[in-house]
A = this chain, B = another copy of it.
Amino acid sequence: MDMTSGMNLTTQPRHYRLAVVPGDGIGPEVTDCALAVLDAAEGLFGFTTGREHVAAGAKHYLATGELFSPGIATRLRGNDAILFGSMGDPSVAPGILERGFILAMRQAFQQAVNLRPVRLYPGVKTPIAGLTPDRCDLVIVRENTEGAYVGRGSTVHAGTPHAVAIQESVNTRVGVERVVDYAFRLAASRRGKLTLCHKTNILVEAGKMWQDTVNELSARYPDVETDYVHVDAMCFHLPTAPERFDVVVTDNLFGDIITDLGAVIQGGLGVAASANINLDGSAPSMFEAIHGSAPDIAGKGYANPAGAILSLAMCLAHLGEAEAARSIESAVVVVLGTMGGLSGPAMGGSTAQIGAHVAAALADVAA
């Protein structure tokens, strides 16, 4: 989270406009929790927020047909940042919300970087035998607007035995460079190590663009050491030797894959946070837990709000409230350490109760 943090030296009142998109399933529950923590943070750290709730997601789409419409885009754009719950429901065909809302927003708002910290917090149970928190503290920087996610291609002779489907991955120097540059700066602010993850030996055109960009930019960051790991080998190293990595930069599709693996290692999707960062200030950045809408457990009070609360912390860091961000993260760490499990009844409290615990811990941390 270091990269998105700033120093706020002004004595002006600090006010931020937040768009809040709770979405579907457990999205609203965990977002409510995050907002309760935000309430507590405002009192403790002396800033204020305005919150504009925006209806979107599966239910909203079924009722209105609206996805990432110009109207929704305009409302979101009027804010400094977006807090996002989660979207999706079995009653909406796969792909509709993903392409019609999430990818559309990432593109329209040029959210060039998808930032996913992979930290194992003390007391959190990881499925990886013997893994300890000191060995697992890395950040995956995923390109978020291009690559295979352009969703372009064509099929000839469809429906015949001779059908050929071609799927394209489009990589621009501009798109790759801004992400790689961001990753270098992030690495420089951390342990000074940047790993490119790709499959350059097979994806020769895209691979060359990524590797050349890393090589060229590395001259500007003499204190950052670089290396390279194939995406298949990454599946091997990430679970067994995460201490090898500080910052990992990768393309959109590989990032989608290895960040889920990262979430496994850190104890599950419930604790994983993410930021979709606009780098040029032209539109708001978006912050969301990595988990989905989990309709099967929605409304049961079983959802772990940690991912949503940690995403709020990333949001505040991005807005310049570094101390509030750090303190919220610390408060989450305290509460995670006391929980009996990461989801379901084993959590030792309902979603709302866990949220209240975090708010209480925040007061202690800030005191």
Q: In the bound complex, do residue A269 and residue B236 qualify as a contact, i.e. CB atoms below 8 Å apart?
A: yes
Q: Does A323 contact B (CB under 8 A)?
A: no
A214 to chain B, nearest CB (A): 14
A242 to chain B, nearest CB (A): 11
Interface centre among A95, A126, A205 (most CB of B within 10 A): A205
Q: Does A62 contact B (CB under 8 A)?
A: no
A168 and B128 CA atoms in complex are apart in Å by: 35
Contact segment of A48-56, A195-203, A311-319, A353-361 = A195-203
Q: Which residue of B lies closest to A251 (CB)?
A: B167
In this complex, the interface size class of chain A, counting residues with CB under 8 Å from chain B, is 35 or more
Q: In the bound complex, do residue A235 and residue B236 qualify as a contact, i.e. CB atoms below 8 Å apart?
A: no
Q: In the bound complex, do residue B168 and residue A164 qualify as a contact, i.e. CB atoms below 8 Å apart?
A: no
Q: In the bound complex, do residue A155 and residue B209 qualify as a contact, i.e. CB atoms below 8 Å apart?
A: yes
A195 and B128 CA atoms in complex are apart in Å by: 25
Q: Which residue of B lies closest to A203 (CB)?
A: B167
Q: Does A151 contact B (CB under 8 A)?
A: yes
Q: Does A174 contact B (CB under 8 A)?
A: yes
Chain A positions 204-249 with a Cβ under 8 Å from a chain B Cβ: 204-206, 208-209, 231-233, 235-236, 239-240
Which A positions have Cβ atoms within 8 angstroms of B? 94-95, 98-99, 103, 126-130, 148-149, 151, 153-155, 157, 160-174, 177, 199-206, 208-209, 231-233, 235-236, 239-240, 253, 256-261, 263-264, 269
